[in-house]
Amino acid sequence: MRLARRAFIAAFVLLGVAGALDHTLAEKLLGERIDLLLPHLKYGYVMFNQNPRQVQVYSYAGADGVRRDLADLVRTPAPLYKRARVAVNIMIRPAYLAELCYRASRRSTEKLTVFVDEYDLAVDSRGPQRTRSFPCDPHAILAQ
């Protein structure tokens, strides 16, 4: 029984690696993908199919001018994945950024500034190609 379980796990891992290589290296080296005769690799979405090349990183600064992660404004606990959750929420629902600023402005009288560093990984990954900043005010953010 243990041997069958180990064989299944080994086959599962090998098929996953084969699918990832088929969607990345095979297309670049051979000019086309190899038909692996597995429907979930042939027709389904594979995690390595396409990686995003343009990334936005959000931060904010208070009156002291020190930039902090925008996820620090979120009160909902999310251990180990708060930054990712905030970034995905902003990507899926752009009005979420205005909602964050609205809640932050209700908690404090301090004026906050939001910074959006835009990276284009195809050009240069060492630094942002553009940085936008605007006041953390729901009306200003929605006007962007």
pLDDT over threshold 60, residue 42: no
Answer whether 117's CB lies under 8 Å from 133's CB.
Answer: no
Domain ranges of the chain: 2-42, 54-143
Residue-wise pLDDT tens digits, 60-106? 999 899 999 999 988 888 778 888 889 888 989 988 998 888 888 88
pTM check: above 0.85: no
d(CA 15, CA 13): 5
In the prediction, which pLDDT does 46 show?
53
